[in-house]
Structure 1
Amino acid sequence: MRIELRPVRPAGWWLDALLVAGFVVITVLLAAKTPLLHVDTAVRDFVDAHRPGWLDTTLRWFNKLGQGGQVLTPLALIVAFFMSRARHTVRPFLLVVGAFALTYVTIGPLKVWTDRLAASEHKHAHPEYLFYVDGGLSYPSGHVVNAIVWYGVLATLLSGVLRPRLVAAIRYTIPLVLLFTTTYLSFHWITDGLAALLLGLFLDRLLRRTPWDAIPLGGRLIRSGWAGPFYDAEPATQAPARMTR
């Protein structure tokens, strides 16, 4: 059986290639200690000097929107549960599992490999360097990648329920908020966020391309009527068997 990828906009793989290339270029420029590092330190110094206490407190709350394990994954599971009940199919959970797997095999290993300290670190002479101190976990920003991937998952799950403009706001607005908060609070360097933006968009496009409705499921789920489509299904208002087409 031939499985076709779902369409994304813009179509083709050219944007994916640009996203990956952009991530690689930023990483190489940072590793080579180019003037791009001066941009990081200049931004860090500016926000440190212009961050009143009330704004610091407010932005810390907004920054919690990017916590993967504590906020985003549980929220995605809850939404997947309700959409699974509405469409009478377990396939919404496949998207959640896929998102978890992609973020797990990318964010953590990249952070460990690049060994970059946070922008708020002042104990070392050059915390902005990559491959500098063992234990640095700043590059790329996990909050930004998580925001793009997980709010993209939520947008996909809710695409048949909410208005398109609201879905687009969920998918794109909150990640931009996280890019700002993590930088302004000096949790991350600006290039941590920009690299995460590129990586997150690439992972989001992979998830949106995946034909979740075509992935084979077990015979028991098929016989029970819980292996039907999700993308092209309507909310279940009749008996579960109606959704097994």
Structure 2
Amino acid sequence: MSEIAWGLASDKTAIVLAVALIIMTVLSAGPLHPIDNLINNAPRPFWQEARMALILGPDTVASRFVALPVLGVTCVQLAYWNRSWRPIILGAVGPFGMVCLVASMKLLFTRSHPRTGDPAFFSDAGVSFPSGHGANAILIYGLVLFLIIRYRAARPHIVRRLAYCIVGIAVLQAMVSVYLHFHWFTDLMAGMIAGGLALVLTIRLDRMIPEGRTVYWWPWYGRNLWKSEDRNGEDAEVWAERG
């Protein structure tokens, strides 16, 4: 366990993102208040006409109600194709770590809602900072893309298009959240950084832990569900390498 903790803590990209998250938190606590207020108080054209459509449409794209099912279907399909529980485990560990990080920061800083007009931290009631939707857009959809790349489930040109889609989802989510007064601008930036940090740590964890003999876990391939015999008499180590 100590080796895993050290491996996660020594990841250079994770360190950079952790420092960026700390810096963004410090800036959000005061120096960037003028920018938050400027964006929050900017005119909202077509407010009455577009508000409900945005709430029911684009704003839900990065919500957990939409993103998690996409991740779940991807993990189950890749697990079935590759005869391994690893995609499902990664699909559970990544979002869980992200939720823990974002929720702890929300409860710690208790930032007031944009509709109050006060971007201060440690308010009486508020959990605006950082944005969970911003973190979802990076972590959940980024994890989908990572799993597709890891298991070679799509051709390179499809992977590039999926990457562009993730960037588009993140930008769209930020614009919609700001427009609807759901989040301060710095909430969204911090949320995306937090999501990126959780994604990097999940990828690092995947690379540190060996595949293991998942043949002994997988019920439909490798070993017979009711007998201890290997399927078609093949050696379990061969199936373990595939799993």
TM-score (norm 1): 0.76
Deviation at 1:222, TM superposition (A): 6.8
Q: How many residues align?
A: 216
Deviation at 1:219, TM superposition (A): 7.9
Match of 2:121 in 1: 130
Q: Are residues 1:24 and 2:16 paired?
A: no
**Quick one: distance in 1 between partners of 2:219 and 2:52?**
53
Q: Are residues 1:157 and 2:153 paired?
A: no
**Quick one: distance in 2 between partners of 1:146 and 1:222?**
29
Deviation at 1:71, TM superposition (A): 1.9
| Counterpart code for 2:14 | D
**Quick one: distance in 2 between partners of 1:218 and 1:18?**
34
Deviation at 1:226, TM superposition (A): 6.3
**Quick one: distance in 2 between partners of 1:46 and 1:222?**
55
Match of 2:201 in 1: 206
**Quick one: distance in 1 between partners of 2:203 and 2:222?**
22
| Counterpart code for 1:46 | A
Q: Are residues 1:117 and 2:115 paired?
A: no
Structure having the higher helix fraction is 2
Match of 1:244 in 2: 240
Deviation at 1:43, TM superposition (A): 0.3
| Counterpart code for 1:29 | L
Deviation at 1:50, TM superposition (A): 3.1
| Counterpart code for 2:33 | L
TM-score (norm 2): 0.77
**Quick one: distance in 2 between partners of 1:176 and 1:151?**
13
8 A Cα contact 2:62 2:133, kept in partner: yes
Deviation at 1:51, TM superposition (A): 4.5
Deviation at 1:187, TM superposition (A): 0.4
Match of 1:64 in 2: 60
Change in 2 beyond 3 A, CA 1:144/1:71: same
Identity of aligned residues (%): 20
Deviation at 1:57, TM superposition (A): 3.2
| Counterpart code for 2:19 | A
| Matches for 1:138-217 after TM superposition, within 5 Å | 138-159=128-149, 160-162=152-154, 163-211=158-206, 214=210, 216=212
RMSD after superposition: 3.0
8 A Cα contact 2:111 2:126, kept in partner: yes
**Quick one: distance in 2 between partners of 1:53 and 1:21?**
40
Q: Are residues 1:41 and 2:42 paired?
A: no
| Counterpart code for 1:192 | D
> In terms of mean alpha carbon deviation, does 186-195 or 204-213 score higher?
204-213
Three-state SS of the structure 2 residue aligned to 1:211 is helix
Deviation at 1:202, TM superposition (A): 1.6
Match of 2:92 in 1: 97
| Counterpart code for 2:37 | T
**Quick one: distance in 1 between partners of 2:148 and 2:119?**
39
For residues 159-197 of structure 1, give each alpha carbon's deviation from its aligned partner in whole angstroms, at most 9, with x where no partner exists: 322322123124432122212211121100000011112
**Quick one: distance in 1 between partners of 2:235 and 2:80?**
10
Match of 2:229 in 1: none
Q: Which runs of 4+ in 1 moved over 6 A?
A: 239-242
8 A Cα contact 2:59 2:173, kept in partner: yes
8 A Cα contact 1:90 1:226, kept in partner: no
Flag structure 1 segments of 5+ consecutive residues without an equivalent. Answer: 5-11, 228-238
| Counterpart code for 1:101 | F
**Quick one: distance in 2 between partners of 1:39 and 1:104?**
27
**Quick one: distance in 1 between partners of 2:110 and 2:143?**
29
> In terms of mean alpha carbon deviation, does 212-221 or 145-154 score higher?
212-221
